[in-house]
Amino acid sequence: MIFWGPPGVGKTTLALIISHYLEVPFYALSAIQAGVKEVREVIEIAKKTRKVILFIDEIHRFNKGQQDALLGAVEKGLVIFIGATTENPSFEVISALLSRCQVYILKELSVNDLMTLTEKVIMEDEYLKTKKFDIREWEAMLRLSGEMHVNY
């Protein structure tokens, strides 16, 4: 699968959650720093063990040869591939790899969504609902969440 969305929407976090839920090892590579050698190392680990998640951040920065190195392992089901990109994968991911992936578009939550979610967690979380909260600095909290353009 490929997660496409702006920075900070949770692409990496979502991949980690999937790994935790499936209880499979998680190998993260950055396309900026890694190459075919690192991809092949993870594939060899997957061959010797069981399925693993191979997460490649900035997949759009891998060239055709680097993306081709993934193809066989994805086709054979050796790895559960999750790519993350801020660029349109239709233009940046080779068609052979793209045709074997589902693309999920992730979008930022609105200010109202973030506020509603925060209030819901405070009221429903078993631990947090036993505490008293008085959020006085919504603007500061929303800015820390990545909503730097907030004018609350």
Q: What is the pLDDT tens value at each position of the chain, 152 positions in all?
A: 999 999 888 999 999 999 999 999 999 999 999 989 999 999 999 999 878 999 999 999 999 989 998 999 999 999 999 999 999 999 999 999 999 999 999 998 888 888 898 889 888 999 988 888 888 788 887 777 665 554 54
Residue 137 tokens read as: 């600095």
C-alpha 97/C-alpha 109 separation (Å) is 29
C-alpha 22/C-alpha 52 separation (Å) is 10
Domain residue limits, the chain: 2-105, 111-144
Given CA atoms 83, 86, 89, 94 in this order, what sign does their dihedral have?
negative
Which architecture does CATH list for 2-105? 3-Layer(aba) Sandwich (3.40)
Residue with token string 């190998």:
27
Residue with token string 């089901």:
77
Residue with token string 């997949």:
59
C-alpha 52/C-alpha 80 separation (Å) is 6
Could you say which DSSP state residue 23 is in? T
